[in-house]
Chains A and B, each alone.
Chain A
């Protein structure tokens, strides 16, 4: 079972293993979400809301749906 970014707990860290082919793949890459990048979860909004992450000293908010494409190791 692969670990998805959206399943990662708050304050946990991970490294992006790969990103599944998806409609917003180009957008994710643009924001620096690339394989090998260290990533940590800062916050999760309640009721399945967006996820707040730290990538390269850069804070990014994204929805759960998008975070599900990012596979973590």
Chain B
């Protein structure tokens, strides 16, 4: 290891121990999520400055043990085993919780046998002392032979000491295996020699891991040849390890039971109550919903008017010309279309991280597991599904924590049916067209709000219907199970929540923004250029409408140009396919352009309708006043609007989702099936709705 390179420290630990709190404490905002080449492991990287030295910190997803049972864990374990890799950390810091030392020492004991440079950080010592649990750093250090530091990640105590201990040179030597019985150890050593492996525990993990042994024929034949019961090996290993931990636990930890407080149990008695528990869950859910709409409404209004103002300033301030029009008619409405969703996304991520930080998310998994089972999923599917209400991309990635591959696949396939925030702009605009502002139901409920809620419900209902169907189509491959550690309730750390919201919102703006701005520019160029008809618009209009006033002529030329632009030609070419759904070529263009991302719809409509018109009308008023030249009827009648709502509710117009599904399933088949079933569902429900309502 060259001394010029920054020291690399990886944070490893069981889930929910304040690992991320420590990471945020060390790196502040100097962090980013990144992926390793090849495998996409959801890890965060950041830099910590200790004096003059820059230290690179890597935060890995929580794991329960080195026996992975989900995709998530498998990736972390693979990373920890690949000690030859250039990405391998110089030091591994294992975070344990003082409240649950025994269980966390189990993972420590496992990693210790990998003979990698390891430092133990015991978190939440302050909280533990209040509960009467005292841990001796020195005693534990003597037992384990590695540096041990007690810290409080939340308060920051002990963190500098931890870094200093990480900077010390550390020599880790192989120790006598305590995870296997003598006669089996002989077999294991035989396998190691046969494979030229220097580490017996790595061999042990290779033999006992189902996926690894299946991929490696030498491992599989060794298992068969010697009749090894790998499950028994694993079970015994756990028993032996806990025995070892118990042998020294009392020496390193003293517990004063009189100080024990059990707030968590008291809270659970209410929050997990068979009636109140579910009512509270429902309440929490409704609250999230209300917050997204009503709380976000105010900042959204401000953003909308600021962009209108910006558009005015730009069109008055910039010199006339093609480039200025590109900015005022293409870019500004395009960017405005993204920024307007920032308040909603912020609120959603804020509440979501509060749920996770407080420990309530695990209770949701517990409460809903039985119901989700009936739909071929697990309680753990609730986490991706709730985050699917914000965006399907992180949601599909969150499905990694689901152990059973069938439950995971079903969750991935149905998650994009949930109403993500990108559908909101479409819903809001279309609903505003068919339901006038200030319409109320029973005099109190906002009718537009209720319609929006109806769209959300529709998404949820369809998600469960499709999941139910998939449950019968997909054969269960192996037995599904749920064994999960449930954390104590903790007061969420404001800092953690803020960091999380910030990084999620930032990546939303950046990722959606890139696509939207690019589409806006392409559309603008396509709509302002065309063939011969486009160029001869002025002549065509003056010959056909000789009596029109100057203003009328100008409008007629503009709409004739739009119709005959390259974009218009594309829209017209797909008209036969979408006409039965009640759409004209302009909507057709919006459909095509929103194949990249749904939220482009509003931007596209803004660009198509903004081009060539002077008045600063809001997009929905402009759509409302749009009239079909053939029938004289409004284009956005009830039938077309409802058909459009259904189309957007079910179709998978989001290339990023398609990409992430492929990445996560590694299967073209399932990616195609997801895109296919959603498109069919969207097309036919829109078709039926329009044909019945027109």
Whether A56 touches B268, Cβ cut-off 8 Å, given contacts A26-B67, A61-B365, is no
Set of chain B residues within 8 Å of A49, measured between Cβ atoms = 366-367, 369-370
**B486 with A63: CB separation less than 8 A:** no
Q: How far, in Å, is B247 (CB) from chain A's closest CB?
A: 14
**B234 with A29: CB separation less than 8 A:** yes
Q: How far, in Å, is B96 (CB) from chain A's closest CB?
A: 13
**A60 with B482: CB separation less than 8 A:** no
Q: How far, in Å, is A73 (CB) from chain B's closest CB?
A: 18
**B481 with A29: CB separation less than 8 A:** no
Set of chain A residues within 8 Å of B265, measured between Cβ atoms = 42
Q: How far, in Å, is B224 (CB) from chain A's closest CB?
A: 19
Q: How far, in Å, is B555 (CB) from chain A's closest CB?
A: 64
**A59 with B486: CB separation less than 8 A:** yes
**A23 with B238: CB separation less than 8 A:** no
Set of chain A residues within 8 Å of B486, measured between Cβ atoms = 52, 59-61
**Distance in angstroms between the alpha carbons of A15 and B65 in the assembled complex:** 24
Set of chain B residues within 8 Å of A47, measured between Cβ atoms = 370-371
The segment from B97-105, B544-552, B681-689 found at the interface with A is B97-105
Interface size class of A (residues with CB under 8 A): 20 to 34
Whether A62 touches B99, Cβ cut-off 8 Å, given contacts A30-B64, A47-B370, is no
Whether B1 is near chain A, meaning CB under 8 Å from some CB there, is no
**A62 with B479: CB separation less than 8 A:** no
Q: Which residues of chain A (1-28) have a CB below 8 Å from chain B?
A: 23-28
**Distance in angstroms between the alpha carbons of A65 and B481 in the assembled complex:** 8
Q: How far, in Å, is B99 (CB) from chain A's closest CB?
A: 7
Provide the main secondary structure of the chain B interface: helix
Q: Which residues of chain B (448-486) have a CB below 8 Å from chain A?
A: 478-479, 481-486
**B485 with A24: CB separation less than 8 A:** no
**Distance in angstroms between the alpha carbons of A63 and B479 in the assembled complex:** 12
Q: Which of A32, A42, A45, A62 contacts B242 (CB 8 A)?
A: A32
**Distance in angstroms between the alpha carbons of A35 and B235 in the assembled complex:** 12
**Distance in angstroms between the alpha carbons of A43 and B273 in the assembled complex:** 8
**A45 with B369: CB separation less than 8 A:** yes
Nearest CB in chain A to that of B233: its residue? A26
**B235 with A43: CB separation less than 8 A:** no
**Distance in angstroms between the alpha carbons of A32 and B239 in the assembled complex:** 8
Whether A30 touches B106, Cβ cut-off 8 Å, given contacts A59-B264, A66-B483, is yes
**A52 with B238: CB separation less than 8 A:** no
**Distance in angstroms between the alpha carbons of A68 and B100 in the assembled complex:** 26
**A60 with B366: CB separation less than 8 A:** no
A23-B481, A43-B268, A45-B274 known; 4 new pairs, CB 8 Å cut-off, are: A27-B67, A30-B67, A52-B366, A58-B485
Can you name 13 A-B residue pairings with CB atoms under 8 Å? A26-B67, A26-B235, A29-B234, A30-B64, A30-B106, A31-B64, A32-B242, A48-B370, A50-B366, A52-B486, A58-B103, A60-B485, A63-B483
